[in-house]
């Protein structure tokens, strides 16, 4: 099966979601995602693994130490120079109980110095601090949610902790309608409208990422409410998960393509680069760039191999993602008889009004017959076009290419 994605970019009027002027290109950063049962595994995704500790010969770190060391690596190891700027805490980072005044409080064991000190440290590196909350009575993992405390919490995020990025999940409300605890999305337009209003009232520019339960909202209403929004199910390590998400985006591209642009982005979920297969990492990085998706990694930087670091910092792949016109790539070719896939995006990189088209392609086989890893990311000029290719090698040979229409 061969897929081809393309977007032809024209000069656009820059608009912003939330009236906050943020996210004019897709955001780049890291999310410390809590993906385990927080009661049974309280350190979950926020504690360095023993392997990373042994490699560095340092004592086992607390969650706060891991976040601070990530900020150090962003600033010192080229991630910040590549464009990564947001360091975002996920679920499971607060105490299970609010304080006597109803305010959120950090987990005292894992964030002993508090979120304000952590925020100050991240800001001292020239980076931006992000946090997680939930439009519900409790978060997906059972920690305090926004319902009943919305104005108080948003003021705390903005004024006390100086948050720059807010990820708002959508679990566990009184009107829950399914076994996963997700809310009835028909009420969420009002909720996110109020969240945006309160954020604007703080006077602090805060990037807002939203999530809808079941991923079936009135999509056309979302760009006015959120800077980015999750589009489908959570990604997990595995090729099947990646394919399922990309296929969903392609099958619904007539809905999603018009929504993407400066200030508002479709978010198919985090980058899993470094979490296992190198080939899949190259595929995802290329596809997310073609789709103008946020480049928010969810990995442990201390455990990344050299190939992973090179990929995450690849200036040509990032340039495709960060094109200022911000059009999402569109699948325009689909060949069922082949096991290969191809996606393409055109971008206006010329100062001329009519633009000089460029394109990025990514190809890989679906059948899993992979005997060598992708090694090439190159950029060149071909017939007036700027071309970026991420080329996986299959059985020692590159896949045949076809000229874009």
Which among 272, 187, 268, 261 is positioned nearest to 227, based on CA atoms? 261
Between 14 and 138, where is the model more confident? 138
Same domain, 356 and 287: no
Same domain, 29 and 108: yes
In 3-state terms, what secondary structure has residue 216?
A: coil
Same domain, 290 and 202: yes
Radius of gyration of the chain (CA): 21
Compute φ and ψ for 34, nearest 5 degrees: -85, 110
Same domain, 177 and 319: yes
| Domain-embedded: residue 28 | yes
| Domain-embedded: residue 22 | yes
Q: Is-catalytic flag, 99?
A: no
Same domain, 389 and 318: no
Same domain, 246 and 377: no
Same domain, 200 and 348: no
From CA 109, how far away is CA 92, in angstroms rounded? Answer: 12
Q: What is the CATH number of the domain that holds 198?
A: 3.20.20.70
Same domain, 301 and 358: no
Spatial neighbors of 237 by CB under 8 A, at least 6 apart, are 272, 275, 276
Q: DSSP string of 307-321? A: HHHHHHT-HHHHHHH
Which among 207, 213, 35 is positioned nearest to 135, based on CA atoms? 213
Per-residue model confidence as pLDDT tens digits over 31-47? 997 655 556 555 555 65
| Domain-embedded: residue 52 | yes
Same domain, 269 and 167: yes
| Domain-embedded: residue 385 | yes
Per-residue model confidence as pLDDT tens digits over 316-349? 889 889 999 898 988 766 544 444 444 555 554 4
| Domain-embedded: residue 8 | no
- 385 pLDDT exceeds 70? no
| Domain-embedded: residue 236 | yes
From CA 62, how far away is CA 48, in angstroms rounded? Answer: 8
Q: How many domains does the chain have?
A: 2
Judge contact between 349 and 323, C-beta under 8 A.
yes
In 3-state terms, what secondary structure has residue 360?
A: strand
Which tokens go with 145?
């949610």
Q: Domain boundary residue among 264, 292, 325?
A: 325
Q: Domain boundary residue among 262, 295, 325?
A: 325
Compute φ and ψ for 124, nearest 5 degrees: -65, -20
In 3-state terms, what secondary structure has residue 251?
A: helix
| Domain-embedded: residue 231 | yes
Same domain, 157 and 268: yes
Catalytic member of 43, 107, 164, 169: 169
Judge contact between 227 and 23, C-beta under 8 A.
yes
Q: Domain boundary residue among 308, 325, 342?
A: 325
In 3-state terms, what secondary structure has residue 95?
A: coil
Q: If you average pLDDT over each of 7-21, 227-241, 373-387, which comes out highest?
A: 227-241
| Domain-embedded: residue 6 | no
Same domain, 221 and 306: yes
Look at residue 276 in the predicted model and tell me its pLDDT: 64
Sign of CA dihedral 20, 14, 168, 181: positive
pTM for the model: 0.81
From CA 379, how far away is CA 252, in angstroms rounded? Answer: 30
Same domain, 274 and 379: no
Per-residue model confidence as pLDDT tens digits over 210-264? 987 655 678 888 999 999 999 998 898 788 888 899 889 999 999 999 999 999 9
Q: Is-catalytic flag, 169?
A: yes
Percent of the chain exceeding pLDDT 90 equals: 43
**347: containing domain:** 332-398
CA distances from 87 to 71, 74, 79, 84 (A): 7, 9, 12, 9
Catalytic member of 81, 234, 237, 400: 234
């Amino acid at each position: 099966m061969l897929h081809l994605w393309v977007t032809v970019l024209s000069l656009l009027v820059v608009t912003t979601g939330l009236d906050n002027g943020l996210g004019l290109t897709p955001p780049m950063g890291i999310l410390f995602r809590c993906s385990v049962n927080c009661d049974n595994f309280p350190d979950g995704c926020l504690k360095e693994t023993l392997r990373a500790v042994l490699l560095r010969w340092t004592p086992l770190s607390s969650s706060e130490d891991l976040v601070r060391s990530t900020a150090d690596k962003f600033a010192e190891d080229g991630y910040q120079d590549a464009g990564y700027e947001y360091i975002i805490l996920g679920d499971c980072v607060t105490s299970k109980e609010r304080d006597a005044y109803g305010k959120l409080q950090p987990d005292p064991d894992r964030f002993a110095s508090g979120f304000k000190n952590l925020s100050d440290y991240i800001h001292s590196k020239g980076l931006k601090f992000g946090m997680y909350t939930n439009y519900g009575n409790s978060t997906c993992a059972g920690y305090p949610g926004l319902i009943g405390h919305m104005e108080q919490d948003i003021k705390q995020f903005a004024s006390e902790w100086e948050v720059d990025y807010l990820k708002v999940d959508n679990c566990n409300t009184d009107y829950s309608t399914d076994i996963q605890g997700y809310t009835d999305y028909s009420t969420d337009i009002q909720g996110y409208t109020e969240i945006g209003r309160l954020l604007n009232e703080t006077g602090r520019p805060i990037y807002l990422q939203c999530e809808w339960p079941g991923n079936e909202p009135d999509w056309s209403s979302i760009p006015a409410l959120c800077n980015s929004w999750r589009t489908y199910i959570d990604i997990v390590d595995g090729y099947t998960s990646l394919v399922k998400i990309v296929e969903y985006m392609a099958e619904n591209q007539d809905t999603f393509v018009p929504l993407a642009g400066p200030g508002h982005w479709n978010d198919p979920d985090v980058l899993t680069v470094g979490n296992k297969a190198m080939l899949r990492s190259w595929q995802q990085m290329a596809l997310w760039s073609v789709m103008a998706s946020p480049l928010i990694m969810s990995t442990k930087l201390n455990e990344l191999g050299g190939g992973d670091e090179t990929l995450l910092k690849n200036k040509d792949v990032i340039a495709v993602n960060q094109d200022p016109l911000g059009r999402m790539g569109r699948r325009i070719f689909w060949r069922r008889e082949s096991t290969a896939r191809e996606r393409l995006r055109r971008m206006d990189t010329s100062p001329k009004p009519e633009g000089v088209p460029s394109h990025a392609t990514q190809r890989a086989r679906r059948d899993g017959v992979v005997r060598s890893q992708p090694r090439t990311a190159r950029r060149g000029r071909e017939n007036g076009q700027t071309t970026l290719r991420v080329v996986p090698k299959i059985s020692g040979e590159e896949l045949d290419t076809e000229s874009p229409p």
